[in-house]
Structure 1
Amino acid sequence: MISVPAGQVTLSDRRTRRSWPVEVAAHELAAFPVTQEQYAQVTGERPSSAHGDRLPVEGVSWLDAVRFCNALSLREGLTPAYLLGSDEGAEWDASADGYRLPTEAEWEHACRAGTAGARYGPLDEIAWHGGNGSGRIHDVGGKRPNAWGLHDMIGNVWEWCWDLYDPEVYGTYRVLRGGGWFDEHWSCRASVRRRSHPTFRIDDVGFRVARSLAPART
């Protein structure tokens, strides 16, 4: 896990041409997307269509991702962050010390790592994408990390975030970030937002885990 400092990020949406600033608290974020080996160790399952321990797990829904977060928390003796119901959502206990999905503001703030451009480095140096990925997924950590030590924030797999995309228009659809191994360069940028149903599974979507930091004692 990487310690991500507090800061502010401005989110934007091309569809609505809207932008909005968000304050981001310090938190921890995994240096890599969850791998197939990690997912199997926690869940006993290997849902991915490609196979390899160091490949990012893919073919996982948003609901699969939040269930993994809870299972990993219990495995490590932490309080699960999510209360899961029988529908397509979950309640987040913000006081829990367990693993969770990053918010999209946390994700973009961590991805940018203090930079302001479309990406935190030259695309081919930092990401597997449609132009250099040979039509397949790749092991995590094969490209240069950003300044805060986070790998594969752009490219390889899209990553589920906690947030609803636009509940008034898209209901329960959740946010995806980062671009994937099949995407063209314009989709592999720090600001790009994609959406999908929380039960959706496909071979270029995975996730990474986050943790809130305990409040400082006074």
Structure 2
Amino acid sequence: MDLGDEYGLVEVPAGTVTLSDRRTQRSWDVGVASFALSAVPVTQESYARVTGLRPAAGVGERLPVEGVSWFDAVGFCNALSERAGLEPVYRIDGEAVAWEAGADGYRLPTEAEWEHACRAGGTGPRYGELDEIAWYAGNSEGRVRPVGGRRPNAWGLYDMLGNVWDWCWDLYDAEVYGSYRVLRGGGWSDEQWSCRASVRRRSHPTYRIDDVGFRIARSGPQGQVTQK
């Protein structure tokens, strides 16, 4: 069995998503090839099984792992790939991380892939009523919650909004913020305005925060995203 099966990888169809940058007031379309994305964020149980580590502040096998840096997340992806006999996607040399084109292993979603998957063919800010689909400041009672406890989107993806933010592959704004990476989705302590498909947050790739986790992806036969 492919080790990715335990993450409930969901096939996300190809499509196009419009990204925007608040600082430059620029918007652009990105074509997204078909790919697979885990139905839920990586859990503490799964993270410990692969790495032997339990970095999260909360304790619970089905809680999403949090308190993990971007470097921790890409390292996990490579470790999971190696366990599954797949080619690791990332070439890691200290703090330099390169994406190996054509590698068939696990990876983080790109920002465009994440938003396309979150929207699931919709055009609104959310894929349902917030209290039904997300754990956020209004209903989480101040703590992270087990994955999959709210209603999924139309493509069967849970916790795309709320619970924990997801690390993405992309740099946030290299011109201003250097190596800071993109976070998407909102978390358990965020107000409703942060839990929208288009909201972006940034963090340094070495930071470990108690409302930040990640989910895994794999490229489909069409390869990676391409900008139009």
Q: Which runs of 4+ in 1 moved over 3 A?
A: none
5+ residue gaps, structure 2, are 1-8, 224-228
Match of 2:156, SS state, is coil
Deviation at 1:205, TM superposition (A): 0.1
Cα distance in 2 for partners of 1:58, 1:16 equals 31
Deviation at 1:141, TM superposition (A): 0.2
- What are the Cα deviations for residues 28-71 of structure 1, in whole angstroms up to 9, with x where unaligned? 00000000000000000000000000000000000000000000
Code of the aligned partner of 1:17: Q
Partner residue, 1:109: 116
Deviation at 1:20, TM superposition (A): 1.2
Match of 2:81, SS state, is helix
Tell me whether 1:8 sits opposite 2:16 in the alignment. Answer: yes
Partner residue, 2:130: 123
Q: 2:137·2:188 contact (CA, 8 Å) conserved in 1? A: yes
Cα distance in 1 for partners of 2:136, 2:195 equals 7
What is the percentage of aligned positions where both structures have the same residue?
72
Cα distance in 1 for partners of 2:198, 2:176 equals 20
Partner residue, 2:188: 181
5+ residue gaps, structure 1, are none
Q: 1:13·1:193 contact (CA, 8 Å) conserved in 2? A: no
- Number of equivalent positions: 215
Deviation at 1:16, TM superposition (A): 3.1
Deviation at 1:215, TM superposition (A): 4.5
How do residues 129-148 of structure 1 correspond to structure 2 at under 5 angstroms? 129-148=136-155
Match of 2:190, SS state, is coil
Q: 2:136·2:192 contact (CA, 8 Å) conserved in 1? A: yes
Match of 2:71, SS state, is helix
Code of the aligned partner of 2:93: G
Code of the aligned partner of 1:132: N
Cα distance in 1 for partners of 2:113, 2:208 equals 23
Q: 2:16·2:30 contact (CA, 8 Å) conserved in 1? A: yes
Code of the aligned partner of 1:118: P
Q: What is the CA RMSD across the aligned residues, in angstroms?
A: 1.0
How do residues 59-98 of structure 1 correspond to structure 2 at under 5 angstroms? 59-87=67-95, 89-98=96-105
- What are the Cα deviations for residues 51-95 of structure 1, in whole angstroms up to 9, with x where unaligned? 0000000000000000000000001110000000112x3100120
Q: 1:59·1:206 contact (CA, 8 Å) conserved in 2? A: yes
Code of the aligned partner of 1:117: G
Code of the aligned partner of 1:9: V
Code of the aligned partner of 2:111: E
Partner residue, 2:218: 211
Q: 2:33·2:222 contact (CA, 8 Å) conserved in 1? A: no
Structure 2 residue corresponding to 1:156, chosen from 156, 163, 186 = 163
Cα distance in 1 for partners of 2:210, 2:90 equals 25
TM normalised by structure 2 equals 0.93
Code of the aligned partner of 1:98: G
Match of 2:79, SS state, is helix
Match of 2:188, SS state, is coil
Code of the aligned partner of 1:166: D
Match of 1:148, SS state, is coil
Code of the aligned partner of 1:65: A
TM normalised by structure 1 equals 0.97
Structure 1 residue corresponding to 2:26, chosen from 18, 22, 36 = 18
Deviation at 1:214, TM superposition (A): 2.8
